[in-house]
Amino acid sequence: MNSSELDKITGDQALKRLLAGNARFREKRPEHPRQTPDRRRETAAEGQQPFAAIIGCSDSRVPPEILFDQGIGDLFVVRAAGGVMDDVGMASIEYAASHLETPLIVVLAHAHCGAVSAAAAARGPLEGRLGHLVKAIRPALEQVKDPSEDLVNRASKILAEMIARQLKHTGPFLSDAVETGDLMIAAAYYDILSGTVEVLSR
């Protein structure tokens, strides 16, 4: 994607591009676009202009460039266990929005998240810094009121939507860009069995 293409793309168009890539991945017809030596040289010389930023989980089963069938320089990815955000992660996303002018941020949850499962099972103090992770995830677990629901998967979706709402109201870079329509922030959920990405909110 060259600079003129990026100038034209909106958050909605960027989301459609991601979902089209996910459809290719899911249907076993990936194109593996923009992964050539020429693309490497282009991005080395001209810098990066990602059309979407992805906030996702560190889970090895959820690689954004693969499940969205994108290439070098297409996605700006911030990953942590559970997809939780700290100040450094937030600064990274602010950089994408303010300096790279990325028009779309997707907060991507996924099925069978080990971090959410661990937080759900946690009892008492945890060793090391794991307690920080549990503390960040617990509010989403507490919002699952229906005992018939799948606790981990439902809480994962809630967590993604909570993070997306937080980002929309985080100033100055993100909230201002959302207000002017220059930035879309969406929450989504990836089913690791089917390969499908579902948009939860935008």
- For the segment 61-73, the average pLDDT, to the nearest whole number, is 98
Average pLDDT over residues 164-178: 96
Q: What is the CATH number of the domain that holds 55?
A: 3.40.1050.10
Cα–Cα distances (Å) from 80 to 106, 176, 182, in that order, read 14, 25, 26
Residue 32's domain comprises 3-201
Q: Which residue, chain included where needed, has tokens 């699952």?
A: 144
Residues 6+ apart with CB under 8 A from 139: 162
SS3 81: helix
Q: Pick the closest to residue 190 from 33, 57, 71 (CA basis).
A: 57
Half-sphere exposure of 26 (CA within 13 A, CB side): 16
Judged against a pLDDT cut of 50, whether residue 3 lies above it is answered with: no
Q: How many domains does the chain have?
A: 1
Whole-angstrom distance, CA of residue 73 vs CA of residue 163: 24
Judge whether residue 55 has pLDDT over 60. Answer: yes
Average pLDDT over the chain, rounded to an integer = 94
For position 2, what pLDDT does the model report? 47
In angstroms, the CA 84 to CA 136 distance is 7
Whether the per-residue pLDDT at 16 is higher than 80: the answer is yes
